[in-house]
Amino acid sequence: MVLTVAILLALVLPWPWNAIVIALGVVGEVGEIVWGRRLARRWRARTGPEAMIGARAEVVAACLPDGSVRVHGELWEAHCEEGADVGESVRIEKLDGLTLVVAPMKTRTDGYKRGG
């Protein structure tokens, strides 16, 4: 993108300046590519089952032990050994075929109360 802008600017500038603008555009483009590659290495895409493990889901059909949950706006079949009622939050433990194995979210039991 930087090089494209430099080339367009070089078309309207006189001789010594258009060469300088092109050279700066090339340097800027190389810097942009290096920066983009560093960002791409830092942010690995998480897809597939490993992206769902540990995610929170909401029960939409009671899991006693089988039911349905909503994860990221999608409905999934779920299996919960402990059981979970409609509206409860559960954590995705693993994926068994196309069925999510879930467990109820742990609630705080240390006596801490928020707000006062």
Give the pTM: 0.55
Domains and CATH numbers, the chain: 2-42 (no CATH), 49-104 (2.40.50.140)
Question: Which two structure tokens, joined as six digits, stand for 39?
Answer: 């960002």
Residue recorded with tokens 């194995």: 101
Alpha-helix residue ranges (DSSP H) falling in 43-81: 49-52
As a whole number, the mean pLDDT across the chain is 88
pLDDT value for 113 = 47
Single-letter amino acid, residue 33: I
Q: What does the chain come to in residues? A: 116
Confidence of residue 107 (pLDDT cuts 50, 70, 90): low
